[in-house]
Each structure stands twice: as C-alpha cells, then as structure tokens.
C-alpha cells in the first residue's frame, strides 16, 4: 500500500473511533434481516396440553343457574331417595364427596357455604371405581406382577465376530502360529430359567460356538461346538421355603436401593384387599353424602314454607295496620305501622335467604348425583323423613361397628401385612447357603449337523473330519457335571437385625393404631346413638311447640281483633310460629339423618340403602378357562402339600347382608301433624313436600354398582 494511502486509512480509522467513542456496540452482520422468529425468548411459559379430551356434556351444557333474580325453571323434578342414590352410583366413576361440608357424621347441623371443590384442589386423594383394578394390575406391587417373578424366562443371544489381528511370533514358526490371525467366530446361546416357590432355580440352556481361523496346527479350519446345560440352585437357609418366597418374592434385594424390598404374592394380594376396603369406604361416603344432601334439600323446602307463612301473615297484619294508619284510626299509629312493616321485611329477607338455601342444597344434591348443575328442572324430594321411633340393640350395634367398619378392616389388613413382612425379615438373619449343580452334554464336529451319523472318534487318524457336533453330542462320549455349595454370612448381622427390629416396631405401631381406631369407633357409635335419641326427643318437643305456637297465633289474633292485646303480641306470636315450624322440620330431618349416620357408624349404611358391592362381569374367555380348570381339579387326585402350603391369612369374603339388622327395632309413632296447618304462599312455585308420614322409611332398591354411561 502506498504511503499516502496508508496515511489516509489511519486518519479515517482514527476519526471513526473518535466519533463512536468507548460505548459498546452490537456486532455487525452482513446478512442480518431482523427476523428472530426462530429464537426462543423464554424457557418456561404457560401452555395448553395437546389433548383432545372433549368436555363433559353435563358440564358444558349447564344452563343459567337459579338465583333470586332468575327464579324461572321449566318443571319440578319429584325425586325419590332411591333414584338419587341410584343416579349417584351410576355416575360415580369418581366417588365424589362433599369435602367436609358436614361438621360430623350425624352431627347437629351440616355446613353451608362454598361448594365442594375437593376434586379441583386434590384429585389424587378422591377414590374411583378404577382404583381396585389399578392396584391389581400395578406393574410393581400388583398380584400379576408378583406372580410374574416365578414365570419361566427365555433368553437368547447371537453374536458374530470377525478376527483380523497381528501376532507377535517369529517368521520361523509361521507354519504353526501365523503372524496375522484371521478368522470368524459365532456364538448362539438360548436358555430357559424357572424360579419355584421354594426358592430354587432350574434352567436349561444350549450354547453353540463356531470357530474358524488360519492357525496351521488345527486339523480342520472350522469347528462347531454345542452343549446342553442343566443347572439348578436351591437355597437351604436364607431365602428357602414357600412361606418366605410368597411373602418376599424370589429376590427382594434385586432393586436400585440395595435394601430388602418385599413384594411377594401374599403382600400383593393384601394390597389389593386394602384397595377394595378403600373402595368400599368411598362408595359408603358417596351414598352417605348423597342421602345427607337429599334430606338437607327437604329441610330447605320446609324452612322456605315456614318463612313464607310468616311473610304472608306479617303482610296481612301490615295491610290492616296500614289501612288504620291511613284513616288515622285507633290502632293505626305510626309506630305500630312501622313495626308491622319491619316485621314484613324481616320475613321477606328470611324468605329470600331460604329460597337461596333451596337453590344451594339442590345444587349440592346435583353434584353428588353427578348431573348438570342446572338444566331447567328444580329437584324436590318426594320421600318423607321417618317419624317412628327406632331403637337399636347396643351390643349388636357395637359388634357390627367393630367388625364391619371398612377402616378397621383396612387396618387389620395392614397389620397382617406387617406380620408377613416380619416373618420374611426373620429369615434374613439366617446365613446364605445355596446348593448348586450343573450337568452338561457336549459335542464337537467339523459341521454343525448333517444327515450322516458321524461322531468324533479319538482313535481315528483324522477324528474331526466329516464329523458334526450333534452326532458327537448324541454319542454321549463327553459329559460334564458340577456340584457344590455357596456360603455367605455377614459377621454380626447388623443390617439384618436392624431390619427385624424395624418391622417389629412397625407392627407394634399398626396394632396400637388399630386399638385407638376401635376406641374411636366406639366413641363415634356412642355419639350416633345419642344423636338418634336426642333428635327424636327434639322432634316430639318441637312438634308440641309448633302446635302450641299455632294455637297461640289464633288466640292472639282473636284477642287483637277484640282490642284486648297489642300489636306487639300478635307480631311476636307470628314470628314464634314460623320459628317453631322451621325447628320442627329441622328436628325431623336431623332425626332421619342421625338414623342414617348410626348405620354409617355400624358399617351397615350400604345395606340400609340397598347397595351391595360385587365384582363386574369378566370376558367370556375368563369364564371358559375357569370352568376348564375347575374340571381339571375335580378329576385330579388330592395331594396335601404339607410344609409347602402357606398359612391362612384371609378369613374369606365379608358378609354384606345381616338379616338380624332391624329385627329388634321397636317403633313408636310421633304425634301426627296438626291438620289445621295449611300450605300458603305458593307464588314462587316452590311448594314443599307433603307432611312427614307415620311409617318408617324403607331402604331404597338395589342399584347396580357398575360403570355406566351418564
């Protein structure tokens, strides 16, 4: 570059540096177009999953809800308790619950307020109809998974190697040992292995080896070697026995944690039974909450009628006082007119609140039934709560509560599980002593197999030429066997003793839990019995209070018309009558609820409502196989396995139908309702169900507890 040009270049560079200053600059790219769409500007974003799950029709088709400002509906749905429970069971793929909406089962009052959202907050803890099948098919702790540990395992491998490598030999010995080793080798191994319930392992395997190379000292360039191995291994101390293997499985140490992990057939079966107990409890809670919601809706209607009666009577009194107030007559003073007006608006607010409670209780019952929150119909209970006195034998109820409770039965299964695990843990204290053996048939030849029987003969001049491996194998010339023992024992058994102690403590803890659960069950049963007696007495008392309040209104109304009493007394009597009517309905509903919850505590709620649990239908092939095996057993000879048969750990199926339930019940009728009571204020089309009857409610029919379309 000429000097003048170089000076010019330096000057331009200096000017550009001075103009730009010392501020950092972005790099310059010749082909930059400004499109950065390929760049991901955030690591995590809120996104929707690629799922094609269509929303439920009952959810997406929900109409506008019923409110005070929108109280229009197409028709009244007269619903019986039997139909409500049947619908809840048919739609109960997920066993819904009210999520703590009730303070206590059989308690004095249910909670009201926000709807149940337990599925939205914690769906994993809500049981479903699929849980028992999921537990049965669990790939790690299920019954089939535990049985698969004893299945025969077939293994096979085939490899082919090409050899081409230099060797460190003198050229003078090239006749025997080539300097460049070249050849092919192939190995095909196939075998089957079976573990038995006693802990033994039996196996049969075949190994075929092909060898071809350029070693000059070989008689033939290639040979085939095949052998059949019969192996066995039987533990004599640790890991031996049918009981241990059915509890712990063939190899409890074969896991990533390196500690004993018992997952045998018996424990898998207990896990399935625990899942069934949890499923029964979920169905029971579904039925209980459905019945509670049903009777709460019944009370909401009764309470609405009581408030409407008070509103109508206060409106009539206000109109009379207001007419006198307009005429400036006696009895129409301003304070009395304002007092009568306040009474009317008080009852009007009570009616509005009671009507909202009807909508809320109806929506809660719809939720338990698994139907749309609103569909143009308004549910009204058609059944009546019982008014007959029901007495239960205490000793029978206590025995049922301690024997039929799903929670106690689940805890007993847990105790049985810990007992079996402790039995398996004690086996680990023994040293490991295994008896092993192997017997092998071996054959070798120039060919793998041919049509001529030409085995290997060591007396021939060329013993391998023209031979095949299977002819040599069948000749029986080459047989090998091996027998021995393997012994392993840790000094001190520190981990094993700690494991036994750990399971002993777990067993003690579960037994203590069972004792406290039984104590808690007895306390809950006592409270349920007390609630039945108390609510019956309250129903009788509130009935008499209601009759007295009605007569008081009639007498005060007559005295007020005669001018002997003040307006205060009339308004107070009307308010007392409304409160007495509502209290009587509350007491009758609580009495019916307490009977239901006593059955809940006794463990007979499902039977009380006519619900029985049964296994669903299996495929036709399963029935065919079961019948074939039953015929096979029937035609076989009985063989007592003696020590190989495990001990009994199940007492069989539970009883779901106790015929003695209710046999000793003594019925005493409540006084009949006062016929003078009449239904008024039907302007909202929300007339309550008819008056409670005089006969005990019978349990509804037997719905089929199978998953069915909504």
HEC string of 376-444 equals: CEEEEECCCCCCECCCCCHHHHHHHHHHHCHHHHHHHHHHHHHHHHHHHHHHCCCCEEEEEEEEEEEEE
pLDDT band at 259 (very low <50, low <70, confident <90, very high): low
Of the candidate ranges 38-42, 101-105, 219-223, 392-396, the one whose mean pLDDT is the lowest:
101-105
Residue pair 351/43 in contact by the 8 Å Cβ criterion: no
Q: Is pLDDT above 90 for 484?
A: yes
pLDDT digits (tens, 9 = 90+) for 647-698: 676 777 777 766 544 434 434 444 444 433 333 334 444 555 654 433 333 3
Residue 249 near residue 196, CB atoms below 8 Å: no
Determine phi and psi for 700, rounding to 5 degrees.
-65, 175
Residues contacting 423, CB < 8 A, separation 6+: 243, 244, 247
Residue 682 per-residue DSSP state: G
Q: 469 and 448 in contact (C-beta within 8 Å)?
A: yes
Please give the residue that has the higher pLDDT: either 123 or 444.
444
Using DSSP's 3-state secondary structure scheme, residue 284 falls into helix
Q: Is the pLDDT of residue 42 over 60?
A: yes
What is the reported pLDDT for 450? Answer: 85
pLDDT digits (tens, 9 = 90+) for 60-87: 888 888 888 888 888 999 999 999 999 9
Query: Span 217-243, mean pLDDT?
Result: 90
For residue 343, pLDDT beyond 70? yes
Highest mean pLDDT among 167-171, 491-495, 620-624, 648-652: 491-495
**What does the pLDDT read at residue 21?**
55
Give the pairing type, strands 75-79 and 377-381: parallel
pLDDT at 400: 92
Query: Bigger pLDDT: 208 or 122?
Result: 208
pLDDT for 710: 29
Query: What is the model's pLDDT at position 700?
Result: 34
Which runs of E-coded beta strand occur in 142-249? 153-166, 180-195, 201-213, 222-235
What confidence score (pLDDT) does residue 619 get? 78
Burial 591-625 (b: 16+ CB within 10 A, else e): bbbbbbbbbbbbbbbbbbbbbeeeeeeeeeeeeee
Rounded average pLDDT over 121-144:
87
Q: Please state, for a pLDDT cut of 70, what percent of the chain lies above it.
A: 81
Contact present, 460 and 220 (Cβ < 8 Å) = no
Burial class (CB in 10 A: 0-12, 13-18, 19+), 335: exposed
595 Cβ partners below 8 Å, 6+ apart? 386, 390, 532
- Where is average pLDDT lowest: 249-263, 337-351, 385-399, 572-586? 249-263
With tokens 């069948």, the residue in question is 474
Q: What is the DSSP annotation of 73-136?
A: -SEEEEE-HHHHHHHHHHT-SB----SS-BSSTT-S-B--SSPP-HHHH-GGGS-BTTHHHHHH
pLDDT tens sequence across 598-650: 999 999 999 999 888 887 777 788 888 888 888 887 777 765 554 445 567 67
Q: What pLDDT score was predicted for residue 673?
A: 41
Q: Give the closest residue to 648 by CA, choosing from 427, 424, 416.
A: 416
User: Phi first, then psi: what are they for 427, rounded to 5°?
Assistant: -65, -25
> What is the reported pLDDT for 181?
84
The structure tokens listed for 573 are 């009597």
Q: What distance in Å separates the CA atoms of residue 355 and residue 305, rounded to the nearest whole number?
A: 10
Structure tokens at 78: 């007269």
Contact 295, 140 (CB under 8 A): no
Q: What is the pLDDT of residue 121?
A: 78
Lowest mean per-residue pLDDT among 17-21, 488-492, 651-655: 17-21
pLDDT band, very low/low/confident/very high, at 418 (cuts 50, 70, 90): very high
pLDDT of residue 594: 93
CATH of domain 59-124+262-381+394-411+516-632+658-710: 1.20.1600.10
* Cα–Cα distance for residue pair 549/576, rounded to 1 Å: 6
Tell me which of 16-30, 71-85, 450-464, 498-512 is least confident.
16-30
Q: What are the Cα distances from residue 211, in Å, to 224, 288, 447, 676?
A: 7, 76, 11, 110
At a CB cut-off of 8 Å and minimum separation 6, what does 594 contact?
106, 528, 531, 532, 534, 535
pLDDT at 336 (0 to 100): 84
pLDDT at 455 over 50: yes
More confident call, 111 vs 142: 142
Average pLDDT of the chain to the nearest whole number: 82
Q: Compute the average pLDDT of residues 258-282.
A: 87
Whether residue 310 has pLDDT greater than 70 = yes
Q: Dihedral (C-alpha) 112, 59, 73, 301: value to the nearest 10 degrees?
A: -20
- Flag whether pLDDT at 120 surpasses 90: no
Which two three-digit tokens encode residue 57?
Answer: 């029709």
Return d(Cα 607, Cα 596) in angstroms, integer: 11
The predicted pLDDT at position 644 comes to: 47
Answer yes or no: is pLDDT of 378 > 90: yes
* Rounded Cα–Cα distance for residues 212 and 220 (Å): 9
What pTM was estimated for this model as a whole?
A: 0.79
**Which whole number is the average pLDDT over 313-331?**
84
């Amino acid at each position: 570059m000429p000097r003048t040009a170089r000076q010019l270049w330096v000057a331009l560079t200096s000017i550009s540096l001075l103009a730009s200053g010392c501020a950092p600059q972005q790099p310059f790219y010749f082909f930059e177009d400004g499109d950065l769409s390929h760049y991901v500007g955030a690591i995590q974003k809120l996104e929707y999953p690629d799922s094609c799950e269509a929303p439920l029709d009952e959810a997406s088709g929900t109409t506008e809800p019923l409110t005070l400002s929108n109280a229009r509906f197409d028709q009244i749905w007269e619903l019986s308790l039997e139909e409500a429970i049947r619908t809840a069971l048919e739609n109960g793929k997920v066993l819904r619950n009210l999520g703590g909406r009730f303070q206590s089962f059989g308690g004095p009052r249910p909670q009201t307020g926000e709807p149940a959202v337990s599925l939205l907050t914690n769906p994993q803890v809500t049981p479903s109809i699929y849980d028992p099948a999921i537990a049965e098919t669990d790939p790690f702790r299920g019954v089939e998974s535990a049985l698969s540990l004893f299945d025969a395992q077939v293994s096979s491998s085939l490899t082919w190697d090409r050899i081409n490598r230099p060797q460190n030999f003198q050229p003078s010995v090239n006749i025997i040992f080539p300097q460049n080793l070249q050849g092919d080798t192939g190995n095909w191994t196939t075998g089957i292995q079976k573990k038995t319930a006693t802990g033994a392992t039996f196996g049969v395997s075949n190994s075929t080896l092909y060898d071809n190379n350029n070693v000059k000292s070989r008689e033939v360039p290639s040979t085939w070697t095949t052998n059949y191995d019969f192996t066995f291994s039987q533990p004599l101390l640790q890991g031996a026995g049918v009981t241990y293997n059915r509890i712990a499985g063939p190899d409890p140490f074969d896991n990533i944690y390196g500690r004993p992990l018992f997952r045998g057939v018996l424990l898998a079966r207990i896990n399935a039974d625990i899942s069934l107990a949890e499923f029964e409890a979920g169905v029971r809670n579904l039925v209980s909450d459905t019945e509670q919601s049903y009777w709460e809706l019944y009370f909401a209607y009764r309470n609405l009628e009581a408030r409407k009666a008070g509103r109508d009577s206060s409106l009539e009194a206000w109109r009379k006082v207001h007419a006198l107030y307009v005429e400036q007559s006696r009895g129409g003073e301003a304070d009395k007119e304002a007092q009568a007006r306040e009474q009317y608006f008080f009852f009007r607010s009570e009616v509005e609140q009671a009507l909202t409670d009807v909508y809320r209780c109806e929506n809660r019952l719809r939720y338990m039934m698994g139907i749309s929150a609103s569909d143009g119909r308004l549910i009204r209970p058609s059944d009546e709560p019982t008014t007959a006195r029901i007495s239960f034998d205490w000793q029978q109820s206590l025995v049922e509560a301690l024997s039929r409770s799903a929670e106690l039965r689940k805890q007993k299964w847990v105790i049985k599980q810990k007992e079996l695990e402790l039995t398996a843990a004690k086996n680990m204290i023994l040293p490991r002593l295994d008896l092993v053996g192997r017997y092998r048939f071996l054959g070798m030849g120039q060919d793998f197999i041919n049509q001529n029987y030409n085995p290997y003969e060591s007396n021939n001049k060329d013993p391998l030429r023209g031979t095949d491996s299977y002819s040599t194998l069948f000749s029986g010339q080459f047989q090998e066997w091996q027998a021995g023992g393997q012994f392993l024992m840790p000094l001190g058994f520190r981990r094993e003793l700690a494991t036994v102690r750990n399971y002993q403590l777990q067993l003690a803890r579960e037994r203590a839990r069972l004792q406290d659960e039984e104590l808690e069950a007895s306390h809950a049963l006592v409270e349920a019995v007390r609630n039945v007696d108390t609510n019956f007495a309250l129903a009788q008392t509130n009935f008499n209070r209601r009759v007295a309040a009605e007569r008081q209104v009639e007498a005060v109304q007559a005295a007020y018309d005669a001018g002997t009493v003040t307006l205060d007394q009339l308004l107070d009597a009307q308010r007392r009558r409304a409160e007495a009517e509502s209290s009587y309905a509350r007491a009758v509903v609580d009495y019916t609820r307490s009977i239901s919850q006593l059955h809940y505590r006794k463990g007979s709620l499902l039977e009380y409502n006519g619900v029985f649990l049964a296994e669903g239908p299996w495929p036709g092939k399963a029935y065919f196989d079961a019948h074939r095996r039953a015929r096979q057993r029937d035609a076989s000879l009985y063989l007592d396995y003696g020590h190989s048969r495990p001990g009994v750990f199940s007492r069989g199926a539970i009883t779901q139908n106790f015929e003695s339930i209710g046999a000793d019940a003594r019925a005493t009728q409540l006084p009949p309702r006062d016929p003078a009571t009449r239904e008024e204020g039907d302007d909202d089309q929300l007339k309550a169900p008819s008056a409670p009857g005089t006969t005990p409610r019978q349990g509804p029919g037997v719905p089929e507890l199978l998953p069915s379309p909504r």
